[in-house]
Amino acid sequence: MLTAVSTAWTLVLTADGHLGLSSEGLSPVSASVQIGLSLLAVAPIAVACVILERRRALEALTQAVTHDDLTGALRRDEFLRRGGGVMGAIDPRRRSGRPVSVLMMDLDHFKLVNDNLGHRAGDTALVSFADQVRRNLDDKHLFARLGGEEFVVLMTGVDLEGATATAEMIRRAQAENSSAVLGDLGPTVSIGVACSPHGDADLTQLVDCADEALYEAKKHDRNRTVSLTLGDVT
């Protein structure tokens, strides 16, 4: 921008006759010089536009690589990468008193939606659920689609009680919203909650514990939340 402004100002001065002095007084500035100065003024702006478009393209590519293209949730690999980084970033000497929780969520009887209403309705149900989850989460929490109708949330600084309360808000909202959109075939959600009270577990342990809790929820008629503290699973 500095180059553009300075060259543009130089062009104005030469056009007004304030530049271009010779020993015999003012000498005219040729058209080629004026054109050259104009191009010199425009060049930095053109470069800036190219850099901006490149940055936008890179951001779009990063979004496509790291996020699910249907729901906008993180992809599984990106969740594991970021989640592992979050867990590993917690200094073991400072873990005490900083709980970490995981929510494993699975839409109940989702196959019935696809079989009876078609895959477009199934996609609508997935997008609607993902939006519902995000409305109940803080931006600092990691939300991902693991595949199919299974989703996961990593919550740092949230204990078992808080994570369970969030899970219940998601479960109730899903039951109400889904039935309003798809009627009796609207899928409910079963949620397994796991918590490491002191944040001293790794991500795999927490996910496995939450998956066990999810299994218990689905075994007991679905559309429910089951919570476990890490160590309760044998």
The pLDDT value given to residue 230: 82
Q: Quick check: 11 pLDDT over 50? A: yes
| CA dist., res. 119 & res. 186, Å (int) | 13
| CA dist., res. 39 & res. 72, Å (int) | 43
The pLDDT value given to residue 201: 84
102 C-beta neighbours (distance < 10 Å), count: 28
Q: What percent of the chain has pLDDT over 70?
A: 70
Annotated catalytic residue 216: no
Q: Are 131 and 151 in contact (CB under 8 A)?
A: no
| CATH code, residues 76-229 | 3.30.70.270
The pLDDT value given to residue 226: 96
DSSP string, 48-100: HHHHHHHHHHHHHHHHHHHB-TTT-PBPHHHHHHHHHHHHHHS-GGG-TT--E
Which one has a higher pLDDT value, 139 or 53? 139
- The mean predicted confidence, pLDDT, of the chain is 82
Among 24, 53, 59, 149, the active-site one is: 149
Q: Quick check: 29 pLDDT over 60? A: no
Alpha-carbon 111 to chain mean position: 27
Q: Quick check: 53 pLDDT over 80? A: no
Question: How much is the average pLDDT of 160-165?
Answer: 96
Q: Which two tokens stand for residue 180?
A: 């309003």
pLDDT band at 66 (very low <50, low <70, confident <90, very high): confident
Residue ranges per domain, the chain?
2-66, 76-229
Question: How much is the average pLDDT of 40-52?
Answer: 69
The pLDDT value given to residue 21: 47
Instruction: Strands of 162-217 (E only): list them.
Output: 189-196
The pLDDT value given to residue 86: 72
Q: Quick check: 59 pLDDT over 70? A: no
